[in-house]
Structure 1
Amino acid sequence: MEKLLHEIRACEVCAAELPLGPRPVVRAASGARVLIVGQAPGTKVHNTGIPWNDPSGDRLRHWLDIDRHTFYDETRIAIAPMGFCYPGRDPRGGDLPPRPECAPLWHARLLAVLPRVELTLLVGSYAQAYYLGRQRKRTMSETVRAFAEYLPACIPLPHPSWRNTAWLKRNPWFEAELLPVLRKRVHDLL
């Protein structure tokens, strides 16, 4: 595990494409029971090296109903984004998609050293596309709405960004139906 984490953190495969340079962000330990697969670090996470260390992380922790200490206990929760480094800013707004090199290069190797993971949280459409493949529904909303189909191994979630606040208001079932299941599953494993 330590050797692999060192390799990931030293990765420079797409360094020429990264506006802030490489700074792979990953947290894991072989005892982790929950894996969170997100998109890619934003600038605040890039600067601190701490995943989900921003308002999106605050919302995600609220969804999980766990505190920062528990969230960052890598012996219980592993965190591996689809792209380990900040990909840059999209001229149309928001960040660029995760770099396509990361997941194929590192995820299978990382999963191989996480034998105790019983629940994978697929946060956002990039993680859902990669991990669910053909099982994914036509849209991210439909995929998240069908969360029960993916239990007990995974739960798809929207990205907890402020950009999705309107989505959360339009989809009250998320808080009423999905969050209780998510919280129970996470608490049972932790």
Structure 2
Amino acid sequence: MDLLLNQINACTLCQASLPYPPKPILAFSNSSRILIVGQAPGRKAHDSGIPWNDASGEELRRWLDVDRYQFYDPSLFGIVPMGFCFPGTGKSGDLPPRPECAPTWHPQILTELTNIKLILLIGFYAQSYYLRSNSYRTLTENVLHYKEFLPDYFPLVHPSPRNRIWQKKNPWFEEEIIPELRQQVREALVL
């Protein structure tokens, strides 16, 4: 496991396309029980070196009903984004995750993570990659039909403050999805 993490931390595969030197931000251990697959680290995570270290992370922890200590315990949660480094900023927010990371590193990581009970797929990029042909046409449909992807995957919208409008338009998310998500998390972590 240490060898794999060292290889990832030394990766320069997409260096020419990044606005800053590569700084992979991820965390996992042999005993991780839940894997969080998001998009890519944001600027705050890049600066601090801590994944989900922003308002999105606070909202995600609320959804999961876990505290910071639990969330950042790699024996409980593995955090492996689709793109490991901050991709930069575009006109309407952060750029998409670099496409090189997931096919290069995710299969190797998943081989090592033998205790994973649940994979949270946060956002369009994670769902497109992992659900592939089983994916619905939209992210909203994936989230609405989450039961079809259990017990392996739980698709979620991104917890960004920018998605509060989506949440207001889809009250079923807070009413139905969040309680089920919390139950799945408790079962996977045996809390």
Q: TM-score, normalised to structure 1's length? A: 0.98
**CA displacement 1:5-59 (0-9 Å, x = unmatched):** 1111111111111102210011000111100000000110001111001100000
Q: What does residue 29 of structure 1 align with?
A: 29
Alignment: residue pair count: 189
Q: What does residue 135 of structure 2 align with?
A: 136
1:152 Cα deviation after fit = 1.1
Distance 2:137 2:187 in 1: 31
Which amino acid is the alignment partner of residue 153 of structure 1?
D
Q: What does residue 83 of structure 2 align with?
A: 83
Aligned residue for 1:78, secondary structure, equals strand
Which amino acid is the alignment partner of residue 12 of structure 1?
T
Q: What does residue 152 of structure 2 align with?
A: 153
Distance 1:85 1:120 in 2: 20
Q: TM-score, normalised to structure 2's length? A: 0.98
- 1:1-190 to 2 correspondences below 5 Å: 1-90=1-90, 92-190=91-189
Which amino acid is the alignment partner of residue 51 of structure 1?
P
Gaps of 5+ in 2: none
Distance 2:55 2:9 in 1: 24
Which amino acid is the alignment partner of residue 109 of structure 2?
L
**CA displacement 1:110-131 (0-9 Å, x = unmatched):** 0000001010000000000000
Distance 1:118 1:184 in 2: 13
Aligned residue for 1:141, secondary structure, equals helix
Percent of aligned pairs with the same residue? Answer: 53
Distance 1:188 1:67 in 2: 16
Distance 1:161 1:134 in 2: 26
